Structure 1
Amino acid sequence: MKYLVMVQGTQLDYEAMRGKASPHSPAWSEQDVQAMYAHMEAINNDLSETGELVDAQGLAEPAKIRTVTLGDDGKAVITDGPYSETKELMAGYWVLECESLERVTEIADRVTRCPQPEGAPNHPVAIRPIQDGAGDLC
């Protein structure tokens, strides 16, 4: 079965990783950022070796989001940045092909153990099965 494993984050998290502290998170050092990248790379390498990795990507910061909605007049309404009420968004993801929910949960647990500076927020890692076809909707 295929699963989407999603890591969440906020704009303030991205800014902290660039060295800008806030009440939300301390500033990350270059060593903190490199430790995070090394952790994620090790996960990706291990998943590639087991054949479970389908795709994995980190996403650009929320400030770079473009949102397209349908206006009352039937025309597209385009805004830059996330909805103002949005706090956490997907920061990165893996598409995995795993034999069980238990296995993908083990992987998500490993993701949650990513090194970060003391005081940085912990965000959940969400797991969603990917539907194989219309039959999964029922």
Structure 2
Amino acid sequence: MRYLMIVKATPMSERGEFGPDAEKMFAEMNAFNNEMIAAGVMLDGAGLKPSSAGKRIRFEGRGKTIVTDGPFAETKELIAGYWLIECKSMDEALGWARRIPFDDGEVELRPFHEPEDFQGVAPDEVIAQEQAWRDEQASKAAKTPA
């Protein structure tokens, strides 16, 4: 099952700043990422630029959108980065989340919906098509040597 580990934004990340120990933090994050890659858990991960570099798109009826330029006010509702991991269970994913080399901050861990979650709601052909698309994309993804 796939999980998203969401790194919550902070006032510092929203200013686009790194702390005074940034070099150490990046070295520790690199080591942590390499551990997850070697374990075959990490599928993707990245840091995000501050919300001032982004836009929000609100939908008000089909075809009607409202675009708002960042920055966005509520830092606690923003994300600064993420990891996409694949684990056998929530407990395994939680074990990885607990090992993130942060001194402070907050990470939210959430499972993805998988195609089989929609059985009985979506037609079997749609579920099969979604799974085939995901399998095809996974086969095309660049593989990082462990």
TM-score band by shorter chain is: 0.7 to 0.9
Residues 54, 69 of structure 2: 8 Å contact kept: yes
Residues 14, 50 of structure 2: 8 Å contact kept: yes
* Letter aligned with residue 2 of structure 1: R
Change (3 A) 1:11 1:79: farther
Corresponding residue for residue 117 of structure 2:
135
How big is the shift at 1:15?
A: 3.0
How big is the shift at 1:76?
A: 2.2
Q: Which runs of 4+ in 1 moved over 6 A?
A: none
What percent of counterpart residues are identical?
30
How big is the shift at 1:66?
A: 0.5
* Aligned mates of 2:118, 2:12 — CA distance in 1: 37
Corresponding residue for residue 128 of structure 2:
none
* Letter aligned with residue 106 of structure 2: P
* Letter aligned with residue 127 of structure 1: L
- 3-state SS of paired residue (2:99): helix
Corresponding residue for residue 17 of structure 1:
17
How big is the shift at 1:57?
A: 0.9
1:125 counterpart = 2:113: no
* Letter aligned with residue 114 of structure 1: F
How big is the shift at 1:17?
A: 3.0
Q: How many residues align?
A: 119
1:90 counterpart = 2:79: yes
Residues 2, 96 of structure 1: 8 Å contact kept: yes
1:105 counterpart = 2:94: yes
**Per-residue Cα deviation, 1:66-118 (whole angstroms, up to 9, x for no partner):** 0111358x63221111443x22211111111112211111111111x424xxx
Q: CA RMSD in A?
A: 2.5
The two structures have a TM-score, normalised by structure 2, of: 0.69
Provide structure 2 residue ranges, at least 5 long, that are not aligned to the other structure: 122-146
The two structures have a TM-score, normalised by structure 1, of: 0.73
